[in-house]
Structure 1
């Protein structure tokens, strides 16, 4: 069994369901947020409320297309450097995806468990906070996030496509995409970035200096890799290294998960009007906030 065989099986199943799903039927709404019917169910969400987190769970929170698969890989590499044990994903690692019985099975898993999530802060099970699990929050600038999300929908053969980038942009700005609004997600997490047990990391910073980012992540979760191990993990975790192995690690969807990973790819799609619209939205939602500053919007989102 490969380390990610459960991951691949789950994705294949979701893609199979996607074949029969048209875009207008892709979402169901739970507590005001749209989720994809191919990956989530309201029964699973109800069961999630009773999920019992452990204090040594590793929680990785991000909006979709902000680098969660990249961070999952880095954490697995750090765990391997620490214990020489390859992390086996006994379940699909996104906490809210899967069948309602998943959480019962997870009680048997050895610690530490890796829990990725795209949920807004206030939608996470309370036990994560009560038991003080550490949460790493990954953010990426909203323009590249939107473009990456669009390509994912329109490039993966079985996922329902949008008619055009303009169509997708309209829905993205309204928050009518899987896991809802990027800006609502951001506003929600912004209030908790300084909480004890929460650490923020920026996708663009990781792109710029991967080794430094890996070192910070290791310290936060209590791993102690040597300098040499950090260099090895960095080499294995570059975008190109991960893309090269993506079919092996993530199955058919791999090459689409690791498409370009560039900073500034949004310039190829955004019109001047769309640029202004997103700049306005950013100002309205995040200007003057701690997260607004951390996102370095002026560096990454100006033409």
Structure 2
């Protein structure tokens, strides 16, 4: 689904979930937890029915690494590159509404993959999935992929607030409890460090570009130019600046509030780097440091995350 119809469906599920325990808000499939508010086992079971196109624009990011923000950037850049006027943009949005397309591959009903065949190119495809769970056709067709990461500590704090806001965890669950679940992979999409380790295997692929939330926050103009060049989006300096304006935190919040105020409040909270210091205890910080050093620090992707800069006091 999309926009208002997706919002209405999610709000209905949200009301139902608020009356249940968190176990009813999540479900286990193929070794990983998923949010029942947007996912269902039937869709996950047939993910490989998705047919990728060579010209698809694919965005991958673990939950709460900034995927909604960057997805909107890609949408704006693709529109600018396609030179769509307001009427064409409206028609493309109406097509999404008409086909009831969920924004992420793993979201929505199993019939969505047939409906996605009717979308015009270039399609913007999004997912939170780890590589071995992504549809095979994406790796076979080799469309260009943007893989997004964020420092593990900020990701954890953002994920906690999001999970609270969307009732994916009990209201009484503390940060300490959530941190234990997060670091041990007992949250939706599994352990974040596993994603770093697995995606590191693709870091030298020509059709895969890696970027970080921090890099985009530090110099959004430069980051957008790199993304536009990678996807061969034909955009001007003005297009870049317009994209920055349309994807500011305020603009994203305002747009989100028009569709689903509850989700927008959880999705677009602070949008800053370094918020991890608001919740992490010294012991938790050291535990994350130890895990990262042990599993990911020595990888190329691990080095790209600049852990010592963003995750050390």
CA displacement, residues 206-237 of structure 1 (integer Å, 9 cap, x when unaligned): 11111111111111112111111111211222
Shift of 1:193: 1.6
Q: 1:178 and 2:188 equivalent?
A: yes
Q: Which runs of 5+ in 1 are unaligned?
A: none
Q: Alignment partner for residue 139 of structure 1, among 146, 149, 157?
A: 149
Question: How do residues 39-54 of structure 1 correspond to structure 2 at under 5 angstroms?
Answer: 39-54=38-53
Moved more, 241-250 or 179-188: 241-250
Question: 2: distance between equivalents of 1:268 and 1:47?
Answer: 41
The separation in 2 between residues aligned to 1:26 and 1:7, in whole angstroms, is 17
Partner SS, residue 46 of structure 2: helix
RMSD between superposed Cα atoms in Å: 1.8
Residue in 1 aligned with 2:70?
71
User: Which moves more between the two structures, 98-107 or 78-87?
Assistant: 78-87
Q: Deviation string for 1:152-180 (max 9, x for gaps)? A: 12234686435210010011011101111
Question: Structure 1 pair 247/193, CA: closer, same or farther in 2 (3 Å)?
Answer: same
The answer on 1:280 being equivalent to 2:287 is no
Relative to 1, partners in 2 of residues 1:157 and 1:40: Cα closer, same or farther, differing over 3 Å?
A: closer
The change in CA–CA distance for 1:47 and 1:61 in structure 2 (over 3 A counts) is same
Offset from partner CA, 1:12-50 (integer Å, 9 cap, x none): 244234224311333322221111222222211122122
Mapped to 1, the partners of 2:238 and 2:41 lie a distance apart of 46
Q: Distance in 1 between matches of 2:229 and 2:170?
A: 40
Q: Secondary structure at the match of 2:233?
A: coil
Q: State whether residues 25 and 169 of structure 2, in contact with CA within 8 Å, keep that contact through their aligned partners in structure 1.
A: no
| 2:21 alignment counterpart | 22
The answer for the alignment partner of 1:123 in structure 2 is 133
Change in Cα spacing, 1:121 to 1:157, as seen in structure 2 (3 Å) is closer
Kept after mapping to 1: 8 A contact 2:17/2:24: no
How far 1:255 sits from its partner (Å)? 2.3
> What is the CA distance between 1:10 and its match in structure 2?
4.5
- In 2, the alpha carbon distance for the partners of 1:68 and 1:10 equals 21
Answer yes or no: is the 8 Å Cα contact 2:164–2:170 preserved in 1.
yes
TM-score, length of structure 2 as denominator length? 0.90
Aligned positions, number: 301
User: Mean Cα displacement is larger for which, 103-112 or 18-27?
Assistant: 18-27
For 2:217 and 2:132, how far apart are their aligned partners in 1? 29
Q: Tell me the SS of whatever aligns to 1:254.
A: helix
Q: What are the Cα deviations for residues 170-216 of structure 1, in whole angstroms up to 9, with x where unaligned?
A: 11011101111111111111111211210001001111111111111
Report the alpha carbon displacement of residue 61 of structure 1 after superposing the two structures with TM: 0.3
Give unpaired runs (5+ residues) of structure 2. Answer: none
SS in 1 for 2:34: strand
**Conservation of the 8 A alpha-carbon contact between 1:7 and 1:93:** no
**Residues of 1 paired with 2:74 and 2:172: CA distance?**
33
Q: Is 1:296–2:306 an aligned residue pair? A: yes
The aligned residue for residue 5 of structure 1 is 4
Is the 2:148–2:210 Cα contact (8 Å) retained in structure 1? yes
Offset, 1:124 = 0.6
> In the alignment, is the contact (CA less than 8 A) between 2:25 and 2:168 conserved in 1?
no
